[in-house]
Amino acid sequence: MTQEDLKKLLTELTALPKETEWVEFKVDHYDSQEIGEYISALSNSACLHNKVKGYLVFGIEDGTHNVRGTYVKPKQKKVGGEELENWLAMHLNPRIDFVIYEFQYGNKPIVLFEIDAANNTPVRFKGVAYIRVGSYKKKLSDHPEKERKIWKKQIGYDWSAHICKGANINDLDEGAIQKARIEYKKKNLHLANEVDSWDATAFLNKAKVTIEGRITRTAIILLGKDESTHFLSPSVAQITWILKNEHNIEKDYAHFGPPFLLNIEKLFGKIRNLKYRYLPDNTLFPTEIDQYDAWVIREVLHNCIAHQDYELRGRINVVEYPDELIFTNMGSFIPASVEEVIKQDAPLTQYRNDYLVRAMLNLNMIETIGSGIKKMFQKQRQRFFPLPDYDLTHTEKVVVKIQGKILDENYTRLLIEQTNLDLTTVMLLDKVQKQTNISKDEHKFLKSKKLVEGRYPNLFVSSKIASVTEEKAMYIKYKGFDDSHYQELVLAFIKKYGSATRKDINELLMNKLPDILTDKQKVDKINRLLSKIMAGKLNLIKSIGTKKIWVLSDDNSINSKT
């Protein structure tokens, strides 16, 4: 990796929660034996969380993730006369690859171990396998449930392809099978004339729902009768819809089980897809649109079904608020990041439920493998709405939020005015409008395009969009006025009332300063403003008494009377 790649990687790692089990941060303290144990623990944890790599980083404070720098120099370290890297590799079983990088980050030395995830077999150091549990390193043997999961990741293991002992075609819903035929024909137009001639067993085999006539867990999930779900036990196949108001109070709910092929439409019918007018002044959008794109809702639901980790025995949840939908499914996000999925725009090399995913593809529930997430982002962008939010900070679940309202009118106008913006740039702007941190390099890029303003990291979408539409209110709200404007307000107040306390001045200015500033930053700005009015050539006001009451200066008092 280049220096820039390493810096970007470190920025991403330090943004993760401190309990991330496939990353360990240290400053200087280390021991050769301990490094070996951490390589084992991080490799095994990366495997469990479906990550390609684990990371051991020196030079970062563990609790705060602050960059401190390190004196550790592993490439110069020797153990018993042997280089540390070779000594570590010799004691790892099975042998896995790890790379040691030394680089500068903010002029501070950093050491980063990039460690391959375990592949089907727990990695041991000196005969002992380790694992991360929260922020602690433990022996894997003390956590048999985690060890079983690593062994289950062996090549060919697929929970969704498992045969349900004792199940037969009578455990499947006839209406669901008929619906499956219709959708299969839509997906396979070249076979449309043949499908009706196949009996149910032949059709389900060809659709890759059953295996040689035997009922799979996939068949139960997609086509099974409600009473057939016991074949999945102790796993659960259920989606719960909950309606909440703006105060987070539950108003209604419903549960949906197999056959998901039919019941997804029933769930979809529960969602109140109300009409939404973009702008109250009606200047840009004279017509109303639905809050949510129907395709996007179905795509998120289908992704939840396809990628749910059913072995965690949890349910898929859909929580509906007045202006947003929140979808939650169990299991970590397998790709490196959402950005990586969109950038690659190609099928993944690994799926949690490969058999289930391919059956859903054949039954027209998934359009094409690998492109669904990108299409969701594109559809939201085309509607000028906020992009989907993927919360991947949880270790065993994925949370997706779909907004049903505009958050920042400048962002919306920008998308309207500049339809040629690439999706990567739009994603960065979406983070800005949601006040999500972006890197300094990303800030420089947006600033060079004159798309954002403000002082890093407190950014907002550029005011030039407001000027295009001749509406300045949003700009003033975030950037504020020139200092001369606030100066005139203070002077006018003192001239009218004869004096002003600091409380008076705070009440006068606090709600007029830009929203992008914190309360402390607003107080600091008022301090600087008062000092500026009192000092140097201005000398417009002075403070009197121990409680600091501001009055007009002698010269300014004379001027104000003339």
Note the pLDDT of residue 148.
78
- Residues 327-382: pLDDT tens digits? 999 987 877 678 877 877 666 656 789 899 999 999 999 876 657 888 899 999 98
Note the pLDDT of residue 334.
74
CA-to-CA distance for 244 and 66, rounded, in angstroms? 39
Mean local confidence (pLDDT), 40-46: 95
CA-to-CA distance for 240 and 320, rounded, in angstroms? 11
- Residues 126-177: pLDDT tens digits? 999 999 988 889 999 888 878 877 876 655 578 899 999 999 999 999 999 9
Pairing relation of β-strands 389-391 and 316-321? unpaired
Q: Which residue has the higher pLDDT, 281 or 33?
A: 33
CA-to-CA distance for 197 and 156, rounded, in angstroms? 32
CA-to-CA distance for 167 and 148, rounded, in angstroms? 26
User: Domain locations in the chain?
Assistant: 3-152, 158-369, 409-479, 483-561
* Overall CATH class of domain 3-152: alpha beta
Beta-strand ranges (E) seen in 123-166 are 124-125, 128-133, 136-139
CA-to-CA distance for 427 and 445, rounded, in angstroms? 13
**3-state helix vs strand vs coil in the chain, percent to 5:** 45, 20, 35
Query: Between helices 174-187 and 354-362, what is the axis angle to 10°?
Result: 70
Asked if 119 and 130 count as a contact pair (C-beta separation under 8 A), the reply is no
Sheet containing 53-58: give its strands across: 23-26, 53-58, 108-116, 98-105
Mean local confidence (pLDDT), 39-50: 92
232-238, long-range: CB within 8 Å, 24+ apart, which pairs?
Answer: 232/164, 232/310, 234/313, 235/159, 235/310, 235/311, 235/313, 236/310, 236/313, 236/314, 236/315, 237/310, 238/315, 238/316
What percent of the chain has a predicted confidence (pLDDT) above 90? 45
Residue 408's contacts (CB-CB under 8 Å, 6 or more residues apart) are: 433, 460, 461, 474
Cβ atoms within 10 Å, residue 171: 20
Residue 270's nearest CA partner among 239, 247, 299, 300 is 239
Q: Please state the pTM of the whole predicted model.
A: 0.60
pLDDT of 113 higher than 70:
yes
* Amino acid sitting at position 151: W
| SS3 of residue 291 by DSSP | coil
For the domain 483-561, what is the CATH code? 1.10.10
Asked if 32 and 74 count as a contact pair (C-beta separation under 8 A), the reply is no
